Structure 1
Amino acid sequence: MAALRKLLSSVLLAVLLISETNAIPSSAPYSHATHHRRTVGRRALKLEHYNPPSTFETFGEGLVQAATFAPGGLDTEARTYAATKLKVDYNTVEFRSGFTRDKARHGYVRQKINGIPVANAVANVAYMDNKVVTFGSSFVKPSCNIDKIADPKPTVDLKDVLSKIEEQLEGKYNNQPISLQYLARPDGSVALVHAVQIQNEQVNSWYEAFVDAHSGELLSATDFTYQASYRVLPIQKQDLRGGLELLVDPHDPIASPNGWHLLRGVATTTTSGNNAIALKASQTNLTSQSADGLIFDYPYDTSQEPATTINIDAARTNAFYIANRVHDLAYRYGFTESAFNYQVEGDFSKGGKGGDRVYISVQDSTGVDNANFAVGPDGLSGTARVYIWDKTTPKRDGSLDNAILVHELTHGITSRLTGGGTASCLQSLESRGLGEGWSDALAEWTEQKDGVVRDYVLGDYVLNNTAGIRNKPYSVSKDVNPLTYANVADDFEVHTTGEIWANTLHNIYAKLVEKHGWSSTAMTNPDGSEGNIVYLHIFIDALSLQPCNPTFVQARDAWIQADFNRYGGANKCLLWKGFADKGLGVQAGNYVNDFSVPNDCA
Structure 2
Amino acid sequence: MSFRDALTLIYVASLCVHFASSLPWHGSVRHSTHRRRELAKGLIFETYHPISFFETFGPGVDHPLFKRSDATLNESALSFVHSKLDLKPGDALVHASYEGSSARYAYLRQHIQGIPVANAVANVAFNKDSKVVAFGSSFLQQVPKPPSGIPTIDVQNAIKTAESALGGRHVPDNHPDSSGIQYVLQGDGTLALTHVFQVSNETTGAWFEAFVDAHSGKLLSVTDYVAHATYRALPIQKQDLTEGFEDIVDPEDMASSPLGWHNDGKTVSNTTAGNNALAYKGVQTNVTTESQDNLTFIYTQDTATVPTTTANLDAARVNAFYVVNKMHDVAYRYGFTEAAFNFQTDNFNHSGRGNDRIIVSVQTTPGTDNAYFTAQPDGVNGQIHLYLFDYTSPGRDSALENDIVVHEITHGITNRMTGGGTASCLQSLEAGGLGEGWSDAMAEWTEHSSADIADYVLGAYVTNNPAGVRTHPYSTNTATNPLRYSSVAALDEVHAIGEVWANILHNVYAALVQAHGYSQTALTDPSGTEGNVVFMHLFIDALPLQPCNPTFVNARDAWIQADVNRYAGANKCLLWKAFASRGLGVSAADYADDSSVPTGC
Report the counterpart of residue 55 of structure 2 in structure 1: 57
Counterpart amino acid of 1:387?
Answer: Y
Is 1:306 the counterpart of 2:304? The answer is no
Instruction: Summarize the alignment of residues 361-440 of structure 1 with structure 2, pairs less than 5 Å apart.
Output: 361-440=361-440
The alignment partner of 1:90 has SS state of coil
What does residue 3 of structure 2 align with?
none
Cα distance 1:68–1:543, how it changes in 2: closer, same or farther (>3 A)? closer
Amino acid in the other structure paired with 1:122: V
Alpha-carbon distance, 1:164 to partner: 2.3
Structure 1 letter corresponding to 2:105: H
Q: Which runs of 5+ in 2 are unaligned?
A: 1-26
Tell me if structure 1 keeps the 8 A contact 2:108–2:121.
Answer: yes
The code of the aligned residue for 1:314 comes to A
The C-alpha deviation readout for 1:354-410, integer Å capped at 9, x for no partner, is: 000000000001321110010110000011000000000110000000110000000
Aligned equivalent of 1:259? 260
Local SS of the residue matching 1:226: strand
Matched, 1:182 2:180: no
Mapped partners of 2:535, 2:457: distance in 1: 20
164, 168, 190: which is aligned to 1:167?
164
Matches within 5 A, 1:140-539: 140-142=140-142, 146=145, 149-176=146-173, 177=176, 178-228=179-229, 233-234=230-231, 237-345=238-346, 347-539=347-539
Larger mean Cα displacement after TM superposition, 535-544 or 150-159: 150-159
Distance in 2 separating the partners of 1:585 and 1:56: 17
Q: In 2, are the aligned partners of 1:150 and 1:191 still within 8 Å (CA)?
A: yes
Equivalent position of 2:15 in the other structure:
none
Deviations along 1:421-443, one digit per CA (max 9) or x if unpaired, are: 00000111100000000000000
SS class of match (1:252): coil
Is this contact kept in 2: 1:49–1:221, CA < 8 A?
Answer: no
Residues in 1 aligned to 2:64 and 2:239: alpha-carbon distance in whole angstroms: 53
How far residue 167 of structure 1 moved from its aligned partner, in angstroms, is 1.6
1:526 and 1:533 in contact (8 A); partners too? yes
CA 1:234–1:44 in 2, change beyond 3 Å: closer, same or farther? farther
Question: Are residues 557 and 591 of structure 1, via their aligned partners in 2, closer, same or farther at CA, if it must alter by over 3 Å?
Answer: same
Q: Which amino acid aligns with 1:190?
A: L
CA distance in 2, matches of 1:466, 1:416: 33
Residue in structure 2 matched with residue 19 of structure 1 by the alignment = none
Match of 2:8 in 1: none
Contact 2:391/2:462 (<8 A) preserved = yes
**Offset, 1:142:** 4.5
Work out whether residues 232 and 405 of structure 2, in 8 Å CA contact, stay in contact via their aligned partners in 1: no
Matched, 1:92 2:100: no
Structure-1 separation of matches of 2:306 and 2:107: 48
Alignment pair present for 1:115 and 2:119: no
Instruction: State the SS of the aligned residue for 1:488.
Output: helix
Unaligned runs of 5+ in 1: 1-27
SS of the residue corresponding to residue 82 of structure 2 reads: helix
Task: Report how far residue 67 of structure 1 moved.
Answer: 7.5
Query: In the TM superposition, what is the alpha-carbon distance from 1:102 to its structure 2 partner?
Result: 1.4
Preserved CA contact (<8 Å) 2:232 2:398: no
Higher relative contact order (CA 8 A, sep 6+): 2
Change (3 A) 1:311 1:406: same
Report SS of the residue matched to 2:600.
helix
d(CA) in 1 for partners of 2:147, 2:34 = 21
Partner of 2:563: 563
Shift of 1:464: 1.3
Corresponding residue for residue 5 of structure 1: none
Answer whether contact 1:403 1:443 (CA < 8 A) is retained.
Answer: yes
Given residue 171 of structure 2, which amino acid in structure 1 is its aligned partner? N
Counterpart of 1:95, as a letter, is: V
- Mapped partners of 2:221, 2:283: distance in 1: 31
Q: Which residue of 1 aligns with 2:35?
A: 36
**Aligned equivalents of 2:209 and 2:54: distance in 1?**
26
- Asked if the contact 2:252/2:329 (under 8 Å) is kept, the reply is yes
Equivalent pairs counted in the alignment come to 565
Give the deviation of 1:34 after TM superposition.
Answer: 1.3
- Which moves more between the two structures, 556-565 or 31-40? 31-40
Q: Distance in 1 between matches of 2:506 and 2:232?
A: 15
- Alignment deviations for residues 5-32 of structure 1 (CA, whole Å, 9 cap, x no partner): xxxxxxxxxxxxxxxxxxxxxxx99222
Does the 8 Å CA contact 1:110/1:118 hold for their aligned counterparts?
yes
Residue identity in the other structure for 1:287 = T
User: Match of 1:588?
Assistant: 588
**RMSD value, Cα:** 1.4
8 Å CA contact 1:29–1:55 kept in 2: the answer is: no
Task: Kindly state the Cα deviation for residue 111 of structure 1 after the two structures are TM-superposed.
Answer: 0.2
> How far does residue 281 in structure 1 lie from its aligned partner after superposition?
0.4
Alpha-carbon distance, 1:282 to partner: 0.6
**Partners of 2:57 and 2:478 in 1: CA distance:** 33
Query: CA separation of 1:427/1:554 partners in 2, compared to 1, >3 Å: closer, same or farther?
Result: same
The alignment's TM-score, normalised by the length of structure 1, stands at 0.92
Which residue does the alignment assign to 1:24? none
Letter in 2 for 1:352: G
SS of 2:255's equivalent in the other structure is: coil
% same residue: 53
- Write the letter of the residue equivalent to 1:501: W
Using the TM superposition, give the Cα deviation of residue 35 of structure 1 relative to its aligned residue in structure 2, in angstroms. 2.0
Q: Distance in 2 between matches of 1:528 and 1:67?
A: 35
CA-CA distance at 1:143 after TM superposition:
6.0
The Cα offsets for residues 109-132 of structure 1, whole Å up to 9 and x where unpaired, read as 010011100000000000012100
Whole-Å Cα distance in 2 between the matches of residues 82 and 305 of structure 1? 58
1:593 aligns to what SS in structure 2?
coil
Counterparts of 2:402 and 2:208 in 1: how far apart (Å)? 27
Q: Which amino acid aligns with 2:275?
A: N
- Using the alignment, how far apart are the partners of 1:313 and 1:486 within structure 2? 46
C-alpha displacement of 1:238: 2.0
Is the contact between residue 509 and residue 531 of structure 2 (CA under 8 Å) also seen in structure 1?
yes
Do 1:48 and 1:220's aligned partners in 2 also have CA atoms closer than 8 Å? no
The answer to whether the 8 Å contact 2:271/2:288 transfers is yes
